[in-house]
Every structure is written in C-alpha cells, then in structure tokens.
Amino acid sequence: MEYKLQKLKEKKITDQQTIVETFNDYFVAIAENVNRQSKNNLINDDNNNMDSHTHFIAHAFNKPYPSMEYKCTTTKETERIIKPLKTKNSYGYDEISTKTLKIRCPIIPSPINYICTKMLFWGVFPDRLKYALIKPIHKNDDRCEVSNYRPLSLLTSFSKIFETVMQRRILKHLTKYNILSAVQYGFRVGFRTDNELIN
C-alpha cells in the first residue's frame, strides 16, 4: 500500500477509477492504523489505570443488568426528532437531504414511525442505513497529495432519525440502571468531554 502511494506521488494520475481506489486505500489504511493503536492503548490503560473505562467494563458486568424494555415509537416522537435536524442540502446515497425531510415532515412521520417500531421490535438496524458516501475533503497544501485530504462520511438522513430513536432508549436504560462509568463524559446530557481534563 505504501509503495502504491509512493508511486502516485511520482506522477500525476488523471484516471478517475485509480484516484478513487487510491483514496480508498489511503483512508482504509488510516482506519486500520487507528484501530490497531486503540487496541494497544486499551490494553495499556487497563494494565496501568484501575479507573480506566476498560477496567470499569471488565468488572461492571459481574452482576446481571435488567433487559432493555421494548418501547414503540410514536409519530409525535418522530416529528420531534425531525424538526430540530440541521437543514442541509447534503445527502447520502439515497439523495434525500435533511432539508427535504423537514419540508415533508407533516406527511412522513407515520411511515418512518412504522419502520422504527419494526426495527426496535426485531432488534435490527437496517444494513442499507449503514452505507455512507465517502468524500475526500482537502485540508491544506498540495491538492495532488492524497495525505492532504480527510474523509467525510455522508450517511442517509433516515439513519439519523433511527440512530436518535435508539440512542435515546439505550441512554435512558444505561442511566436508569447506573451502568455507565462515572468517567463517561461524551454523549451525555450535562457532561462535556473536556470535563475529563478537570478531573
């Protein structure tokens, strides 16, 4: 992979398929490297810090926690999720933007609600909603250098709705039964990730 990128630096590539494959190889390599470093960090954290999140997880589940309650969605809940979405023209592979969803808000909550309810009942997040369009965004310096780009993932607007439905239920369950670690600051109401710097 590194050899392939080095060869591309030496000459300007104009073939679109080659450009796409090069970006894909580069972004996949970054993800694999981050994943490898994360695994190493988790092992080191758990060995060196009794307060680390991995230590908490390893010892928190010695006792069984209650199963999550199945709670249907409602059209009102669906509307309340759609209305505050940022109005954007960008879209995923389905070519439906959040702007379009918000314009159609009076008529679409019912079918979306039906799909949400089925998804929760079966415990399955639809595979099609996991697909993302990856767009390379130029950061700075030479535009012909692949390492000067970062990947931007564009998911479908519908996935944002379903993710919010699931996130609310999971977080409510975790909070109710005190399952989260005391040092979990991200993605929680009233907490900020910079709180960790203070403690």
Mean confidence (pLDDT) of the chain:
81
Average pLDDT over residues 52-78: 75
Residues near 75 by Cβ (< 8 Å), separated by ≥ 6? Answer: 109, 110, 113
Three-class DSSP category at 15: coil
What are the pLDDT digits (tens) for 103-123?
A: 998 899 999 999 999 998 898
- Residue 191: exposure state from Cβ atoms within 10 A (0-12, 13-18, ≥19): middle
- Residue 161: exposure state from Cβ atoms within 10 A (0-12, 13-18, ≥19): buried
The dihedral of CA 60, 63, 64, 69: what is its sign? Answer: negative
User: In the chain, what percentage of residues exceed pLDDT 90?
Assistant: 28
The predicted structure's pLDDT at residue 38: 73
pTM: 0.69
- Torsion over CA of 73, 74, 76 and 81, rounded to 10 degrees? 20
Q: How many CB atoms lie within 10 A of CB 49?
A: 11
Q: How many CB atoms lie within 10 A of CB 131?
A: 15
Residues near 32 by Cβ (< 8 Å), separated by ≥ 6? Answer: none
The dihedral of CA 51, 52, 56, 58: what is its sign? Answer: negative
Half-sphere exposure of 123 (CA within 13 A, CB side): 5
What are the pLDDT digits (tens) for 73-104?
A: 999 999 999 999 999 999 999 999 999 999 99
